[in-house]
Amino acid sequence: MKRHFKTYGSIFVLTLSLVFPALSSAADDAKKADTSSIKQQLKKDTGISDKDLSAIDSELKNYVQNNGDPNQAKELVSSSLSNNCTGDCLKQAFAGMNTAMNKGISNNEAQNIVAESLREQVRQRGPGQVSEEDMAKNLKASVENKIQERQQTGGTAPGMSDSQRSTPGGGGASSPGGSPTGGRGGY
């Protein structure tokens, strides 16, 4: 009996060692396909340039691995491009979303944090008043501050007033297992 168990056990282990790399490879191929299809969709829907697509390539791959929503990516690109946030700034916008999502913030709220930070940058600087590099740095700092603020307030959305936090329906309290916005997250 022991001899059969050893033989079948060895076969089982060998089979698993062959199957898991194949599954992992298939998953990697699916992520590559997702990234490629998202890029094509972004180009079609937003008119993003090839240069800007190249600039966000690594962050977009991370975004796909974070199970980012293609519609949120489209909203982020549209918002960024309409505010002259291209190249490094656009890359930083995606990096901010990835950072927020890695900290357990829902995809939707991560996009809201970045969009709000971007709007603030535009209001503060005025169109065309700051270099792309400076805007990217400022955007990064603003997003990091909003993420930290969100975490310190126990999951309330950035920019909410104290009355919104304490008012029923104001979004300040999260339901069990969800974020204040109802998305994934766990805050």
Model confidence over 83-134: pLDDT tens digits?
888 999 999 999 999 999 999 999 999 999 999 999 888 888 766 677 778 8
> What is the block-wise mean pLDDT of the chain (187 residues), using blocks of 10 residues?
53 52 45 78 95 95 92 92 90 95 92 91 73 86 93 63 36 36 34
Say what the pTM is.
0.65
Alpha-helical (H) ranges within the chain are 2-46, 50-65, 70-82, 88-102, 107-125, 132-152, 162-166
Interhelix angle 107-125/70-82, rounded to 10 degrees, is: 0
- Ramachandran sector of residue 47 (left: φ over 0; alpha: ψ -120 to 50; beta: rest): left
